[in-house]
A and B are shown apart, each in its own frame.
Chain A
Amino acid sequence: MRFVRVALAACFLALAAFSFAPPARAADGAAVGSAAEFSLKDLDGREVKLSSFKGKVVLVNFWATWCGPCQVEMPKLQEIYAELGAKGVQIVGISTDEAKLNAAVKPLVMSKHLTYPILRDPDTKVVSQFNPAKTLPFNMLVGKDGKIASVHSGYNPGDEVKLKEELLALLAK
């Protein structure tokens, strides 16, 4: 009986918390609609700014070498890049692995045949800006105007189809 009371209270609290959630802005996080900019180094130590891709539709994909779903998603992103890259879609991968795992990053990229730029965010400064919970994988779609159009966390089978549809819609804008 005591457990039932406690469980009911827990459900109430959880629902209460959810009922306070603002539907619109929380729908995709606060980052949506704001301008995105960051600067990170690529695997060769060159500084790359997100703004250098302005005019393109950009898909920023945060991942890590230890993240299983990320490894499943990456080849599918490469497929999208191969198809839509020439049409104005730029994919940018950002490895959030900490510094001690640096040696494992490029081998993973090579094993997945990724041809889009890969940047390093070892102290998770950039992923924290857009996704304080740091869930991975995390995708951020940026329109031609440099503003964040949507964000998506996690990967489930078929998510890449929805991502591609969103990218095509952003290209058409």
Chain B
Amino acid sequence: MRVGRGSWAFGALFVVVPSAAWAADGAEASAPVEAAPPAPVEAPVDAPEEPAPEPMAGTLQGGSTHGLEDFRFRFYQSDQRLPDFPDEPVYDYQEFVERLQLTGGSSLLTLGLQGDAVMLASNEYILDDERSFERELWSAGLMGPHPNVWFGLEKLWLTGQSGGLSWTLGDSYEAFGRGLSLNMVRNTDIDVDTSLRGLHAAWSGGPWELHLVEAVANPQQMRMENPNVGMKPDLPHAVHGLRADWYGPVHVGAQGVAFQFARAYDPTGNPFVAWRSGLDAAVAGATVEASSVGPFDLGAEFDYFAYDAPEIPVKSGYAGYVSASAYPGVAVVLLEGKLYKDTEWANTLTSGEGYEVVSGPSLEYDRAITEDSSAAVNSNDVAGGRARVDFALGQGSDTITPYVSVASFRDQDLGGVHFNAEPETIVHAMGGILLIRGEFHVLFNGGYRMDLRDDAPASNPGDSTAHGDLSVTIPLGHELSVELAPNVLHYHWGVNPVQQTDYTDFSSAVAFKIGTPYAIIVYTDYSDNSLIASTGNVSDAVYMAGELQWQPTSATTLKLFYGAYRAGIRCAGGQCRTLPGFEGARASFTANF
């Protein structure tokens, strides 16, 4: 039996490509790394004096080029074995991921592109003269030069500006209001990057602003942080949006968004036939924001949802959100409320692809969201609010800012990923502190959450979560510092139709930093959550890893990682995604140039 190795030459190619771009930079490329930032180029003293050009808003003056080089290497260790070959780690493999982003232009026009490439190595074996691929990198509808290689021009955009008009042809991002009607933004914390490919125009004149979006969704096909397996072509969901804003004594906005969802991968490559002729969903709404209304800053949004998609079982929905903040004395008070009824249905046809087209404020604490409580985040029938009070004591290098918050929601949706069969009342109390004493600092957040189910026995009224996360930086002098970041969560399940077992998650990172350039980080994870699909490298429940980070310049970072981390749900910005665990080695190189 022989294990395929793939082609290392592709890996070399990945790192040579950006170097070609840098080499074009000319003379500047020869200066030493330690050199001070180059002095701005001054006009010769005897040069004829010319009137300074008016600066243009929103773009760089004159010509400029920017770039981002992002290279990842991952070596996956797998416990999977072929029958009769228990000692052959056939399913171990390597993944090379390359992203190159280039932007160049002047004050009037900017052209940008992002090229992505991924290659798997050691992804095949030959058994009894028969070659087998261990996993499929890309599926029908995509093309690659080899079953283990895919590359593509993932994003392309041309932006222009003239007077009050700015426009983008190609890929851009947009959110209207608080994201309730449209929220197509990057969320790289959970490896989501879905742009809107088409026309995006904005016009401003006096107190008025208009935004127009006419585009299709363009999700990233290649994942930067997670395994690339079974990559599929994009479903080009069509998005039509218009928003008008008026900035007067109050800020008033109104928006309308319509969605036409693509249903299936079209083998002919023509995306148009995949759309229905009518609209699948339409959202119309308005926002109001007012500062200094008495002691308050106020904000509100209301949106009405209309559905006509056969996959969506309701015809309408609505969403409301309000906020009020006040600053009496040393206290900073923030009150927020939400009422979302049948709004998550708008994400029905995109959530399977790992992203959402609408997403309002969740008012949840992202780090304490679990497999169960994520259901309340994505609920189609939830109402509630959160109150938070910060106490701003001290200033500058002698600051202490404690806070308390309490959130309560009523979740009456029983579908989706809900584990229970009864409506719940959720109460989540939290407290925390930011303490700064010179170069020493502490950040702490802790809380207790109860999901109280209707009709549950008093002895076991529902689920509960106790959680805490801490970040402490201790300076040791001579540019040395230690940063400790433990995070713990204990979950107690209520009675479920399919009973689950209580569990504890713990993770910690201990970082030793030597000035800005160097950091050595030791990661430890523990989880006995039976719902997660990974096992540890130290024991079934314990994962350990180490990482070396080197930042030779402020624009360049190199990371080397070896070990394992656990799978599980990750949430950022109120959106959640279940991500796989990892065991093996990783290297990454990132540079802005």
Q: Within 8 Å of chain A (Cβ to Cβ): is B188?
A: yes
Contact, CB under 8 Å: A18 / B556: yes
Could you write out 22 A-B pairs with CB less than 8 Å apart? A7-B562, A10-B585, A18-B558, A20-B16, A20-B23, A22-B22, A23-B29, A25-B29, A28-B554, A31-B66, A45-B247, A100-B179, A100-B360, A107-B327, A110-B325, A129-B103, A143-B40, A145-B40, A145-B42, A150-B554, A156-B515, A158-B479
Which of B135-143, B390-398, B411-419 is the interface stretch? B390-398
In this complex, which of A13, A27, A49 has the most chain B Cβ atoms within 10 angstroms of its Cβ? Answer: A27
B425 touches A (CB below 8 Å): no
Q: Nearest Cβ distance between residue B560 and chain A, in whole angstroms?
A: 7
* Set of chain A residues within 8 Å of B103, measured between Cβ atoms: 129, 132
Q: A29 touching B555 by the CB < 8 A rule?
A: yes
A residues sitting closer than 8 Å to B (CB atoms) are 2-3, 6-7, 9-11, 13-14, 16-18, 20-39, 41, 43-47, 49-51, 66, 68, 71-72, 75-76, 78-79, 82, 98-104, 106-107, 110-113, 122-126, 129-134, 143, 145-147, 149-154, 156-159
| Contact status B38-A20, CB under 8 Å | no
Q: By the criterion CB–CB under 8 Å, are B551 and A154 in contact?
A: yes
Judging by beta carbons under 8 Å apart, are B555 and A26 in contact?
Answer: yes
Which residues of B sit under 8 angstroms from A72, Cβ to Cβ? 434, 436, 441, 443, 473
List of 6 A-B pairs having minimum Cβ-Cβ separation, nearest first: A20-B19, A24-B31, A39-B57, A157-B439, A103-B323, A22-B29
Contact B66 A18 (CB under 8 A): no
Complex: A128 Cα to B508 Cα, angstroms: 31
- Among residues of A, the one whose C-beta sits closest to the C-beta of B336 is A103
A18-B552, A24-B32, A72-B436 given; 11 more Cβ-contact pairs under 8 Å? A14-B558, A27-B35, A29-B555, A30-B64, A36-B61, A45-B251, A49-B57, A99-B175, A99-B177, A129-B60, A154-B551
The residue in chain A whose Cβ has the minimal distance to the Cβ of B204 is A47
**How many Å lie between the Cα of A151 and that of B30 in the bound state?**
20
Chain A residue with Cβ nearest B367: A66
On whether the beta carbons of B589 and A30 are closer than 8 Å, the reply is no
Q: What size tier do the contact residues of chain B reach?
A: 35 or more
Asked whether, in the complex, the Cβ of A38 is within 8 Å of the Cβ of B57, the reply is yes
| Interface mask (B247-266 → A, CB under 8 Å = 1, otherwise 0) | 10001000000000000000
| Complex interface: chain A residues within 8 A of B388 (CB) | 107
Does B463 lie at the interface of the complex (its beta carbon under 8 Å from any beta carbon of A)? no
Known contacts A26-B553, A26-B593; decide if A98 and B516 are in contact (CB<8 Å). Answer: no
CB contact under 8 A between A49 and B55, given known A7-B75, A75-B399, A100-B574: yes
B475 contacts partner chain A, Cβ-Cβ < 8 Å: yes
A10 touches B31 (CB 8 A): no
- B11 contacts the other chain (CB 8 A): yes
B303 beta carbon closer than 8 Å to chain A: no
Task: Tell me, yes or no, whether B25 is within 8 Å of chain A by CB.
Answer: yes
Taking a contact as CB atoms under 8 Å apart, the answer to whether B439 and A132 are in contact is no
Which residues of the other chain, A, contact B585 by a CB distance below 8 angstroms? 3, 6-7, 10
Within 8 A of A (CB), among B94-128: 94, 96, 101, 103, 107
CA distance A42 to B30 in the complex (A): 41
Q: Which residues of A contact B479 (CB under 8 A)?
A: 158
Please, which residues of chain B bring their CB within 8 A of the CB of A43?
291
CB pair A37 B55 closer than 8 Å = yes
Q: A23-B35, A45-B251, A134-B188 are in contact. Are A156 and B22 (CB under 8 A)?
A: no
| CB-nearest residue of chain B to A123 | B173
Q: Are B73 and A10 in contact (CB under 8 A)?
A: yes
**Cross-interface CB contact of B29 among A24, A103, A111, cutoff 8 Å:** A24
Contacts of B289 in A (CB 8 A): 45, 102
Within 8 A of A (CB), among B10-55: 11-12, 15-16, 18-19, 22-23, 25, 28-33, 35, 37-38, 40-42, 55
Which residues does chain B contribute within 8 Å of A147, judged by CB atoms? 40-41
**A113 engages B35 (CB within 8 Å):** no
Please determine whether A111 and B397 come into contact, CB atoms closer than 8 angstroms: no
Closest partner residue, chain B, to A20 (CB atom)? B19
